[in-house]
Amino acid sequence: MEELLKTNDMVLISFVEALLSEGNIDHLVLDQNMSIVEGSIGVIPRRILVDRDAMPRARQLLKDAGLNHELSTPRT
């Protein structure tokens, strides 16, 4: 799996999860439970990961939704 985006914005995470689910793209949100460690202040960004094979579709889906500026830099 590869990182699609990283953010502290819980609304954005929810929106991206909805887009990916609607597009039938399996995804995983990491670092959700780090708020216990950080004291619920939201300083540790959550990461959304998708399978490498689904990455082009997922990136295009977010670009089509106007979220190009939120995407993580692709690994080469």
pLDDT of amino acid 36: 59
| Per-residue pLDDT tens digits of the chain, which is 76 residues long | 999 999 989 899 999 999 999 999 999 999 876 655 656 566 788 999 999 999 999 999 999 999 999 998 887 6
pTM for this structure? Answer: 0.83
DSSP-assigned states of every residue in the chain: -EEEEEES-HHHHHHHHHHHHHTT--EEEESGGGHHHHTSS--SPEEEEE-GGGHHHHHHHHHHTT-GGGBPPPP-
Contact 4, 28 (CB under 8 A): no
Domain that holds residue 66: 2-70
Residue 76 included in any domain: no
CATH code at position 63: 3.30.70.790
Is residue 64 included in any domain, yes or no?
A: yes
Question: Would you say residue 12 lies in a domain?
Answer: yes
* Tally of structural domains, the chain: 1
Q: Is residue 7 part of a domain?
A: yes
> Given this model, what pLDDT does residue 37 score?
60
CA proximity to 21, closest of 48, 53, 52? 48
Give residue-wise pLDDT tens across range 22-38: 999 999 999 876 655 65
